[in-house]
Amino acid sequence: MTVRERYEELKNTLNEHSYKYYVLDNPDITDEQYDRLMRELVDIEKANPDFVTADSPTQKVGGKILDGFESVTHTVLMQSLQDAFSFEELKEFDSRVRGTVDTPVYCVEQKIDGLSVSLEYVDSVFVRGSTRGDGVVGEDVTENLKTVKSIPLKLREDIPYLEVRGEVFISKPDFARLNQKREEEGESTFANPRNAAAGSLRQLNSAIAAKRNLDIFVFNIQQIQGREIKSHLEGLDLLRRCGFKVISNDKGFDTIEDAFDEIKRIGDIRRDLYYDIDGAVIKVNELSQRDKLGSTAKTPRWAIAYKYPAEKQKTKIKDITVAVGRTGVLTPAADLEPVLIAGSTVSRATLHNIDFIRQKDIRIGDTVVIQKAGDIIPEVVEVVVSDRNGSEREFFMPETCPACGARVHREEGEAAVRCTGGACPAQAVRSIIHFVSRDAMDIEGLGPQIIEKLVDNGLISSSADIYYMDKESLASLDKMGDKSAENILSAAEKSKSNSMEKLLYALGIRHIGAGASKLISKKFKDIYALFDATKEDLCAIGDIGDIMAESVTDFFAEPQNRDFIDKLSRAGVNTKYIEQESGDNRFEGKTFVLTGTLENYGRKEATGIIEKFGGKVSGSVSGKTDYVVAGESTGSKLDKARELGIPVIGEAEFMEMIK
């Protein structure tokens, strides 16, 4: 078998297994077996980039970064549906339909609460995906849709042209995990799964969309060539055979009463579904009857959406407590008198931040209306002000961290209140993971799982404790052993000789990245000099602004952070800046901007080379820029450079400059 033949075999095998896993939910190989096949495919593509085709499963990983979304004009309008909120409105719809066509058969489908998109296929290969937009013009989000594992990159049947409509969504468990992570990192949470799906699809970096675990149900054929479809149910059957996830009954209903019984059945099970629905849709099955019924300017006359009412309950806030997340963000939550809502007992609801509390004027002792966002996360909808009796108390965020006692800080323009303690136990795992990472102290062998074990077993509680571990305790961990323990301790010992900038970056000071750490270290020479540094001292360094300077001074003003540095120093960790003389300062005084993808260098590698020769790399183009190095898939930086007359060089010219 040739390499090309093996590549085609692997590609088809992996696409088949993806279909069984993500569409049929019936895998027949293990994750390990799938990963082994995928690694083989990736290796072949690396060695033979000309083999790569649009239907390769590697194209679902994501990573392309766009400057913006192109507009897409829909050939077939993506209309919205008329809403109904009662059986009487459904009967009126039925009367209108029967006034135009005889003996209609209705289909009833769950109405997914997500984002409507169009998917287009040419010769069975996925070529473009777009949002609904205003129904006439949407946005090209092809790269993000490629990351949705349940969207086939190649149809399982040969069709010259096909356009389908579907609803992109995030499952209830993934939505809960996403919001928890965002809350821990101090980001605003999504109000519901639909907002989460929409926000994910509009990411310019498809790698971010890929991490969101988007899913899709396809529910309609918009256009098709090479096949004749006479009914909606027939079309859905074809879509299943093509490899799409389809959510529909295979059953037709002869009366509106039978259709409404199905709507009620769906309503009874909707809380048990792993995805969120906000209603059910009734559609006329026969396409010829749809043509007779036609459409208004906004909605089709052959379909209607029944909306389920949101379930709400009243209860009382007993107290408001504050939890500290892994990123140091303080999040208030309401302790409630238990109440049954959407099938489960609720006794706690997040209050997000102090701005949310003030906007709704929420007080301890208030009677409030609760609902579940997307039937998942309990939230306070409103305060019942008329139930107040004067005993209610206003809530204030604490001035010190409930977990470690360090001062808390809220930056101007941000909703999040954060702990400033570098040794805060609530942040221990995350801060240690950052501390040992490659760009920080670079302690090889200490991965996230081992760090969690170390913390859980009480062997360390902060990053400084790494330098006080002993071999016996470390080797006693499950699946560790003497050799692994020796390697970790050796890597920790080696890290003690790092230059100051790596230590400064490892501290995880907000807004201070690796580049800023190097600039500050070059200026101050010793981390202890930062104990008495002022904002003015720091702002005197080029590229260090007010917010960055304030983050540094706030960090070193906290006693527990100074104690942390002392503990590192006692362990023998170097705190001074080590000058690295390259002997070649050909780029001294020159500022570079990198844009696009370089073939031979990663972004960090190219930056390191420029800095080695005394130059500086900036993230934006300005009048102070000397060169813009442009790779493939460049963006707005290139346009800005041309507008300002900044020299633009390609990768070949850059390689000549660094010879």
Tokens found for residue 204 = 């310019």
Q: Which residues contact 223 (CB under 8 A, 6 or more apart)?
A: 75, 76, 161, 162, 163
Measured between alpha carbons, how far is 209 from 145 in angstroms, rounded to an integer? 8
Q: Percent helix, strand, coil in the chain (nearest 5)?
A: 40, 25, 40
Could you give the CA distance from residue 374 to residue 172 in angstroms, rounded to a whole number? Answer: 8
Helix (H, G, I), strand (E, B) or coil at 216: strand
Specify whether 111 is catalytic.
Answer: yes
| Paired tokens of 585 | 């300062």
Quickly list DSSP for 512-579: --HHHHHHHHHHHSBGGGGGG--HHHHHTSTT--HHHHHHHHHHHHSHHHHHHHHHHHHTT---B---
Give the Cα separation of 322 and 403 in Å (integer): 10
Which of 281-285, 368-372, 423-427 has the highest average model confidence (pLDDT)?
A: 281-285
pLDDT of residue 373: 60
pLDDT tier, 324 (very low <50, low <70, confident <90, very high otherwise): confident
At residue 452 the predicted structure's pLDDT band, cuts being 50, 70 and 90, is: confident
Side chain identity at residue 531, one-letter code: F
Residue 3 pLDDT class (50, 70, 90 cuts): confident
Q: Is the pTM of this model over 0.95?
A: no
Taking the C-alpha atoms of residue 145 and residue 163, their distance in angstroms, rounded to an integer, is 14
Span 132-160, mean pLDDT?
91
Q: What is the mean pLDDT of residues 45-65?
A: 75
What is the structure's pLDDT at 428?
85
Res 298 pLDDT > 70: yes
> Which structure tokens are listed for 524?
């101050």
Which of 111, 149, 172, 372 is catalytic? The answer is 111
Mean pLDDT, all residues of the chain: 87
Give per-residue pLDDT as tens, 172-224. Answer: 889 888 887 777 766 777 777 888 888 888 888 888 888 889 999 999 999 99
Crossing angle between the packed helical segments 31-47 and 3-18, to the nearest 10 degrees = 140
| C-alpha–C-alpha distance, residues 529 and 538, integer Å | 11
- Percentage of the residues of the chain whose pLDDT score is greater than 70: 95
What is the pLDDT confidence band of residue 481, given thresholds at 50, 70 and 90?
A: confident
For residues 260-271, give the mean pLDDT: 91
CA nearest to 556, candidates 530, 536, 520: 530
Long-range contact set of residues 396-405: C-beta below 8 Å, sequence gap at least 24: 397/322, 397/330, 397/332, 397/354, 398/322, 398/330, 401/324, 401/328, 401/330, 401/426, 402/322, 402/323, 402/324, 402/330, 403/324, 404/560, 405/560
> Rounded mean pLDDT of 110-125?
93
Q: CA-based angle 612:618:620, to the nearest 5?
A: 160
- Tokens 């048990």 belong to which residue? 272
CA distance 569 to 554: 21
Confidence (pLDDT) at 65: 52
Q: Rounded CA gap, 294 and 154, in Å?
A: 32
- How far is Cα 466 from Cα 185, in angstroms, rounded to an integer? 24
Question: pLDDT tens digit string along 387-416?
Answer: 999 999 999 999 999 988 888 988 877 888
